[in-house]
Structure 1
Amino acid sequence: MQELIELYLESLRLEKGASENSVEAYERDLRRFLNNFSGRSIDSITSLDITDYLIKLQKSHLSASSIARNLSAIKGLFRYARKIKAIDKDEAAIIGGPKTFRPLPETLTIEQVFAILSQPDSKTDLGLRDKAFLEFLYGTGARISEALNCKRSDLMPEMALVRLFGKGRKERVVPMGKVAWQVLKEYLELSRPHLANQKSGDFIFLGNRGNPLKRMAGWRIVRKYCLLANIDKDISPHSFRHSFATHLLMGGADLVAVQELLGHADISTTEIYTHLDKDFVISEHREFHPRERWEQRPRIPRKR
């Protein structure tokens, strides 16, 4: 089964275009699966065996979302094995996963976003880079991996468009606003040349040693300026993507348009932001509707 797992993971990279993070997660899950069924071939594993294995994961206090991911990896492995005729029957196909609660994403208000964007010191090379990075995240709704992998050749300033490569290397072209373009232009002209060296390639965002900016460095940038802006929320780079979508919908943008901008294959993924928008509407109603502000209503004496 070891060789089969390696072939499956390679197919995820080459055929499906899965990100390295996804492949690494699947590899960890399938190694655990392999160790549990050590010495057995895949065609000897039944649906009952897989169910017992999932129960074992649950008893080890693995979260429902982690169990769901494990099952997804197992199902993928069995589908691949069936495809290459390593098995006659897909025993994993009939197994349903655990119900997982999908929490609403942490978002920032427009005022909080503006407060964060005002924090970097644009007079320094790294400060201007940080400001450009934050403006890029909020201006495009890009995932952090999409922003970090973006190259100068992906920029189309004459049309104010940016090419992004999302999950599975799916390409989409998105607009970016004037303010973000201006900051990015200043960074590319004034700061990036001071950071760049032979290791930089064509990547837009660079570290202080000239390497392409890493994922954890992107997280540190976001957290740094959230703290400077005195924002006490569990904010990540993805929060800018959530805020981008929520603020567009609050402003009246069409849901399908937001789906395209985010690169969601399924509109149900985008619909989670309508829940956030509804929460905002409800809070506004409760704060400002005259009949909601009951404590301010005059007391009317009852007739006897």
Structure 2
Amino acid sequence: MMRNADLIDEFCTTLWLEEGLAKATLQAYRSDLQQLGDWLQAQFDETLLAASTEHIRNHVHNLLELKPASLNRKTSSYKRFYLWLNTSKKREDNPCQQLQSAKRGLRIPKTLNEQQMLDLLAAPDVSHAAGQRDKAMLEFMYASGLRVSELVNMPLRAVDLNAGAVKVLGKGNKERLVPMGEPARLAIQLYLNQARGELLKGKTSDFLFVTHFGKPMTRQGFWKNIKRLALVAGINTPISPHVLRHAFATHLINHGADLRVVQLLLGHADIGTTQIYTHVAKEHLHTLLKQSHPRSKSR
């Protein structure tokens, strides 16, 4: 009988070869399955391959103190692993076939309103190189809805300023073409013409956005810059790079964009992930109704 470690390795290798999943995603699968394997060994002296439905249900019951999102991620790992065991003929049944996901409430994403977003875009001091870079990054992210990892890892060659578009390599190595508006195009043009060379100081880089050390901008570095610029803009609500992605999607929906179009721009594999923004738009419409409809105002 195969050892747990060998099974997990083969499973993760299969996912990587067939779907090109990100390193972090594969590591999450590995961690969840190792935890399940260790528990099975300690509680029942069983392996992952021999686990029964009852074994796995007992394990999930012991995890009920976790938040629903964390619990669902683990059960999703177990379901996928045992489906793979079944389809690859390593076992005849699937002990996770009836495993239920935890119910969780609707989580409305944090975002910025349009005025806050305009204030943030105006916050960088474009009289120096770092400010021009920060302005270009903010405009680019708001214009395209990129994930922060896609933004900081953006190759210089992926941007076509003449076409006003960028090739984005997203999750699972899926490529999509994303247009950008004129403010973002102009901000990136200014950054490329003036700031980027000054920041590189004679060094070379394949990445679009660089620091004054001549190295690629990091997620953490961009996050710090956003927090600093939010204070300059007078924005006191919690902010992160992902809030800009939420603002991009929310403002598009508020102005009538088709949900399928927003899904393609964001690079969501499942439109269900994109539908959360319709709930944000409904909140926006309710607010407008209360402010504008004569029957909504107190007399």
TM-score w.r.t. length of structure 1: 0.90
**Residue 54 of structure 1: which of 43, 46, 60 is its match?**
60
Amino acid at match of 1:47: T
The share of aligned pairs that are identical, in percent, is: 35
Paired residue for 1:137, among 138, 141, 162? 141
Structure 2 partner of 1:196: 200
Alpha-carbon contact 1:199-1:210 (below 8 Å) kept? yes
| Aligned residue pairs, count | 293
Shift of 1:223: 1.6
Confirm or deny that 1:8 pairs with 2:11: yes
Give the structure 1 partner of residue 30 of structure 2: 27
Deviation at 1:81, TM superposition (A): 2.4
User: Structure 2: where are the runs of 5+ without partners?
Assistant: none
Q: CA deviation at 1:198?
A: 9.5
In the alignment, is the contact (CA less than 8 A) between 1:200 and 1:212 conserved in 2?
no
Give the secondary structure class of the aligned counterpart of 1:43. Answer: coil
| Mapped contact 2:40–2:55 kept (Cα < 8 A) | no
d(CA) in 1 for partners of 2:72 and 2:231?
34
CA contact (8 A) 1:200 1:206 kept: no
Residue identity in the other structure for 2:59:
Y
Match of 2:259 among 255, 258, 271: 255
Q: Is residue 148–residue 219 contact of structure 2 (8 Å, CA) maintained in 1?
A: yes
Moved more, 202-211 or 133-142: 202-211
TM-score of the pair, normalised by structure 2: 0.91
Please give the per-residue CA displacement for 1:275-300, whole angstroms capped at 9, x wherever unaligned.
11111111111112111112xx2xxx
Compare 206-215 and 104-113 and name the one that shifted more. Answer: 206-215
Distance 1:135 1:37, change over 3 A: same
Deviations 1:172-197 (A, max 9, x none): 10110111111111112222223338
**Out of 218, 221, 224, which is 2:228 matched to?**
224
Distance verdict in 2 for CA 1:27–1:199, change over 3 Å? farther
1:92-140 C-alpha deviation (Å, 9 max, x unpaired): 2221111122311011111101111111111222222111111111010
1:197-212 superposed matches below 5 A: 201-212=205-216
| Pair 1:44-2:47 in alignment | no
Q: Assess if the C-alpha contact under 8 Å between 1:249 and 1:255 holds in 2.
A: yes
Q: Does 1:264 align with 2:254?
A: no
Which of 122, 127, 141 is the equivalent residue of 1:118? 122
Question: Where do residues 146-225 of structure 1 align in structure 2 (5 Å cutoff)?
Answer: 146-196=150-200, 201-225=205-229
Are positions 1:72 and 2:76 aligned together?
Answer: yes
> SS of 2:10's equivalent?
helix
Structure 2 contact 152–216 (Cα < 8 Å) conserved? yes
Contact 2:161 2:189 in 1 (8 A): no
- Distance in 1 between residues matched to 2:200 and 2:77, nearest whole Å: 39
| Alignment CA distance shift 1:79-1:212 (3 Å) | farther
Aligned to 1:289: 293
Q: Which runs of 5+ in 1 are unaligned?
A: 298-304
3-state DSSP class of the match of 1:44?
coil
The 1:189–1:34 alpha-carbon spacing in structure 2 relative to 1, beyond 3 Å, is farther
Q: How far 1:240 sits from its partner (Å)?
A: 1.0
Residue by residue, what CA displacement relative to the aligned partner does 1:222-245 show, whole Å, maximum 9, x if unpaired? 222112222122221111111111
Contact 2:139-2:184 at 8 Å conserved across structures: yes
Equivalents in 1 of 2:256, 2:275: separation in Å?
14
Cα deviation for residue 73 of structure 1 reads 1.2
Q: Give yes or no for contact 1:4–1:81 (8 Å, CA) kept in 2.
A: no
